[in-house]
């Protein structure tokens, strides 16, 4: 009892067989075992490490409130009894198991007055958010990205603004702990190179994606969606470089399909295209920050948009898949129903469609087609793509008449075929238009695959939305939307 704690711990480590016991005062089982553990310590072979209250077991125990020893010994449960032979761990037992404690310690009468078994509690080193902190402080995080040290007198948020890491809004400082926590949201190797981000074609690793996801405010469970969005954006046919450098309004619009949308709490209902939902807001923002911070896409530099648009902060939402009769966008684009997927569309902001009078599917199709004709310019054809976000009340008019996605799409295209003579340069007193040699044709507004329809929105309101497409869509086979599976 008179041996100093540090001297006693030294003696234990020098012995051929020794024990470590990890406890915490907040654990009922640890409190129950206190007399028994004290007996083991008094033999000179055992050392006790206390995770919470240093006074617990004092003066017999070593204070491990920093959790450094618990981290190094990978403690998951309190109490944990570890046996060491010649300085190396031989075995361990979690909680109280009388037969196992007797076998490991060699004390046949140990715990005679206690029940045979009682589970322990979770180690403080495994509490949410704690383990990543311990890895960053005491372990090898394995992070390879260059670390920027912020001095004690420097505000991290202001430092991010000054260094040009933000989109104009405050970011979450990407500490090692937060990065490690974010990496816990994916099974992918943090050193894996996903691709090269334009315009600088800089390599982006899973780790760098995680860093920007932290800055954007994502939760770890969003990581598979963010990664898939980055992969889709880096597909050559998505032409991210052109989309970034264009003088137009456009940016990536992310549509999420599959069970993951509900699991991570995405919004496909009321205000789905607006603010207020963390997943919607931060997933889209993470992609934009990656383009900026990894690829070098700085507004006013290589980002040459004349006016820009709010979607350049973030534009991400989930499709409403609550109606089993509706074919989701991802399925229409070749994936299986129930697969998790992202579709990236090169699109502008929202053009509202207000129609509170049309009552038949034919009327509604004509009405929506009239609004779609304005995309880009009413006289331009086969020049851009478009995304129609169909609200529940507008969709109900089609659904009640038995029209499915294929029928709605076909009818909209049919309503948007016009005489070329009305669209050529100078026709109707407007210089803009299509080439003069198409005057004798009947011309479609969009390519057959150029109109994407998505269901989203709240139940109240006969309003839908159109997101016009980037003018690069006129190069039909060189620039297209991309749909990609989400790998969990």
User: pLDDT by residue (tens digit) across 105-124?
Assistant: 999 999 999 999 999 999 99
How far apart CA 293 and CA 197 sit, in angstroms, is: 10
Residue 14 binned pLDDT confidence (cut-offs 50, 70, 90): very low
In sequence order, what are the beta bridge partners of 484? Answer: 342
Digit-coded pLDDT (tens) for 152-193: 788 999 999 998 999 999 999 999 999 999 999 999 999 999
Same domain, 118 and 201: no
Residue 44 binned pLDDT confidence (cut-offs 50, 70, 90): confident
How many domains, in total, are found in the chain? 2
In sequence order, what are the beta bridge partners of 451? Answer: 386
- 139 found inside a domain: no
The average pLDDT across 299-310 equals 85
pLDDT score of 1 more than 70: no
Same domain, 355 and 454: yes
Same domain, 185 and 114: no
E strand or H helix that includes residue 488: none
Same domain, 308 and 388: yes
pLDDT at residue number 7: 45
The average pLDDT across 327-355 equals 97
Structure-block tokens of residue 406: 């294929």
Burial of 111 (0-12, 13-18, 19+ CB in 10 A): buried
Same domain, 17 and 164: no
Average pLDDT, the chain: 93
- 24 found inside a domain: yes
- 141 found inside a domain: no
Same domain, 116 and 202: no
Same domain, 175 and 312: yes
- 143 found inside a domain: no
Please identify, among 107, 126, 145, the residue that sits at the C-terminal boundary of a domain.
126
Same domain, 220 and 366: yes
The average pLDDT across 390-413 equals 98
pTM: 0.86
Expressed as residue numbers, the domain containing 51 is: 5-126
CATH number for 52: 3.40.30.10
The average pLDDT across 343-358 equals 96
Nearest to 381 by CA among 429, 431, 430, 450: 450
Please identify, among 126, 143, 166, the residue that sits at the C-terminal boundary of a domain.
126
- 144 found inside a domain: no
Residue 16 binned pLDDT confidence (cut-offs 50, 70, 90): confident
**Helical residues (DSSP H) of 63-205, grouped into ranges:** 68-72, 98-105, 130-138, 156-162, 176-183
Please identify, among 126, 142, 175, the residue that sits at the C-terminal boundary of a domain.
126
Determine how β-strand 121-122 pairs with β-strand 77-78: antiparallel
- 234 found inside a domain: yes
| DSSP states along 165-233 | -SSSS------HHHHHHHHTT--S-TT-EEEEETTTTEEEEHHHHHHHHHHHT--GGGHHHHHHHHHHH
pLDDT at residue number 9: 43
The average pLDDT across 190-214 equals 96
Same domain, 172 and 110: no
Q: What percentage of residues in the chain have a pLDDT greater than 70?
A: 97
Residue whose tokens read 């046949």:
108
Same domain, 116 and 255: no
- 18 found inside a domain: yes
Long-range CB contact pairs, 356-363, < 8 A, 24+: 356/462, 358/397, 359/397, 360/397, 360/401, 361/397, 361/398, 361/401, 361/403, 361/408, 361/411, 362/411
Same domain, 188 and 336: yes
- 152 found inside a domain: no
Same domain, 287 and 431: yes
How far apart CA 124 and CA 352 sit, in angstroms, is: 52
């Amino acid at each position: 009892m008179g041996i100093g704690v540090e001297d006693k711990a030294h003696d234990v480590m020098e012995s051929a067989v020794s024990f470590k016991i990890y406890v915490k005062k907040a654990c009922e089982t640890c409190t129950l075992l206190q007399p028994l553990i004290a007996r083991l310590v008094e033999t000179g072979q055992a050392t006790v490490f206390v995770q919470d209250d240093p006074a617990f077991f004092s003066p017999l125990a070593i204070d491990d409130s920093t959790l450094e020893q618990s981290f190094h010994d990978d403690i998951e449960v309190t109490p944990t009894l570890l046996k060491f032979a010649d300085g190396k761990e031989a075995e361990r037992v979690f909680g109280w198991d009388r037969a196992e404690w007797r076998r490991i310690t060699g004390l046949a009468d140990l715990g005679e007055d206690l029940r045979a078994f009682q589970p322990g509690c979770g180690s403080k080193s495994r509490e949410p958010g704690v383990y990543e902190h311990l890895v960053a402080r005491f372990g090898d995080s394995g992070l390879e990205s260059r670390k920027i040290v912020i001095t004690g007198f420097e505000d991290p948020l202001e430092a991010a603004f000054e260094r040009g890491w933000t989109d104009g809004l405050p970011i979450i400082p990407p500490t090692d702990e937060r990065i490690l926590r974010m990496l816990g949201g994916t099974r992918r190797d943090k050193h894996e190179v996903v691709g090269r981000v334009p315009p600088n074609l800089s390599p982006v690793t899973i780790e760098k994606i995680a860093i920007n996801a932290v800055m954007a405010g994502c939760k770890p469970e969003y990581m598979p969606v963010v990664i898939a969005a980055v992969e889709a954006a880096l597909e050559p046919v998505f032409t991210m470089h052109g989309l970034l450098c264009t003088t137009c309004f456009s940016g990536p619009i992310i549509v999420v399909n599959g069970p993951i949308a509900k699991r991570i709490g995405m919004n496909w209902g009321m205000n789905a295209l607006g603010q207020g939902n963390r997943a919607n807001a931060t997933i889209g923002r993470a992609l934009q920050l990656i383009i900026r911070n990894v690829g070098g896409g700085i507004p006013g530099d290589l980002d040459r948009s004349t006016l820009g648009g709010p979607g350049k902060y973030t534009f991400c939402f989930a499709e409403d898949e609550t109606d089993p009769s509706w074919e989701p966008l991802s399925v229409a684009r070749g994936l299986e129903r129930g697969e998790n997927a992202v579709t990236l569309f090169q699109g502008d902001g929202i053009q509202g469609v207000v129609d509170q009078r049309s009552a038949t599917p034919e009327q509604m199709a004509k009405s929506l087609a009239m609004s779609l004709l304005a995309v880009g310019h009413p006289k331009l054809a086969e020049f851009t793509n478009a995304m129609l976000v169909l609200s529940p009340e507008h969709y109900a008019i089609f659904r009640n008449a038995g029209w499915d996605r294929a029928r709605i799409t076909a009818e909209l295209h049919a309503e948007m075929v016009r005489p070329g003579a009305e669209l050529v340069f100078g026709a109707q007193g407007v210089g803009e238009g299509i080439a003069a040699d198409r005057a004798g044709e009947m011309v479609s507004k969009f390519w057959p695959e150029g109109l994407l329809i998505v269901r989203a929105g709240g139940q109240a309101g006969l309003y839908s939305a159109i997101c016009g497409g980037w003018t690069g869509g006129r190069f039909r086979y060189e620039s297209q939307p991309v749909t990609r599976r989400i790998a969990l």
